Chain A
Amino acid sequence: GAGVSQSPSNKVTEKGKDVELRCDPISGHTALYWYRQSLGQGLEFLIYFQGNSAPDKSGLPSDRFSAERTGGSVSTLTIQRTQQEDSAVYLCASSVAPGQGSTEAFFGQGTRLTVV
């Protein structure tokens, strides 16, 4: 696609439910990143994929958070047993692989998650 696409754009869920957030990166971008932006805060790194593997998942805040990427393209971020503190905007970005030119990351519009 022309840009990074995320779905849904908004998600309201009840505390304790599981949610899945989807990211469709720019075609040909092998690197994919997930970030979280809480109200009034900066961007918090969650996980980085290179192809289908995740060499850096150091930002996942707990074992309730997991992510996968299949076919070197679409990625899904799953939050199990959601808590109110999980409420945030979840951003996905993609870039070409480091060493293959510009590592500029292109961002999607984000998924606004509200846990009630």
Chain B
Amino acid sequence: AQSVSQHNHHVILSEAASLELGCNYSYGGTVNLFWYVQYPGQHLQLLLKYFSGDPLVKGIKGFEAEFIKSKFSFNLRKPSVQWSDTAEYFCAVNAPMDTGRRALTFGSGTRLQVQP
């Protein structure tokens, strides 16, 4: 089965700092890639997704992610974080053409804490 690694478990930043959260996956075939966010007390919401085309994808709230196929990576970035970005961030991957891998596989999550 594919696996997803998020290397940063807990990140603390000050407002206006830049953010980059790492995500690596292991699967050699065609993949869809996602970043989900879970704000305190809320359900998981999609931040952005990559299916094909331009490897630099832009999502909501100023977030973007870059798919680098050669590195099996899909890192999440934001140039200037806000206090309201405090949340848990999950990277996920699936392989829609592979019956055994259509369900999303999630990383363990990164807790982002933004200090005012």
| B105 A103 Cβ-Cβ under 8 A | no
Interface segment among A12-20, A68-76, A80-88, A104-112: the answer is: A104-112
Mark interface residues in B60-71 (1 if CB within 8 Å of A CB, else 0): 000000000000
| A42 B106 Cβ-Cβ under 8 A | yes
| A107 B49 Cβ-Cβ under 8 A | no
**A/B pair count, beta carbons within 8 Å:** 62
Q: How far is the CB of A43 from chain B (nearest CB, A)?
A: 4
Tier of interface size on chain B: 20 to 34
Q: How far is the CB of A67 from chain B (nearest CB, A)?
A: 13
| B90 A43 Cβ-Cβ under 8 A | yes
Q: A33-B104, A48-B103, A110-B43 are in contact. Are A103 and B32 (CB under 8 A)?
A: yes
Tier of interface size on chain A: 20 to 34
- A to B CB contacts below 8 Å, 16 in the list: A41-B108, A42-B109, A43-B90, A45-B104, A45-B105, A45-B106, A48-B103, A50-B102, A58-B100, A93-B44, A98-B97, A103-B32, A103-B102, A105-B104, A107-B45, A109-B43
Q: How far is the CB of A86 from chain B (nearest CB, A)?
A: 19
Q: How far is the CB of A31 from chain B (nearest CB, A)?
A: 7
| A91 B44 Cβ-Cβ under 8 A | yes
A1 at the interface (CB under 8 A from B): no
Q: Which residues of A contact B102 (CB under 8 A)?
A: 31, 48, 50, 55-56, 98, 103
Q: Which residues of B contact A102 (CB under 8 A)?
A: 49, 51
Q: How far is the CA of A30 from the CA of B107 in the complex (A)?
A: 25
Contact with A56, one of B43, B49, B92, B103 (Cβ below 8 angstroms): B103
Chain B contacts with A in 77-116, Cβ cutoff 8 A: 90, 92, 94, 96-97, 99-100, 102-109
Q: How far is the CB of B93 from chain A (nearest CB, A)?
A: 11
Q: A56-B99, A102-B51 are in contact. Are A42 and B104 (CB under 8 A)?
A: no
Q: How far is the CB of B46 from chain A (nearest CB, A)?
A: 6
| B90 A42 Cβ-Cβ under 8 A | yes
| A107 B43 Cβ-Cβ under 8 A | yes
Q: Which residues of B contact A43 (CB under 8 A)?
A: 90, 92, 104, 106, 109
B34 at the interface (CB under 8 A from A): yes
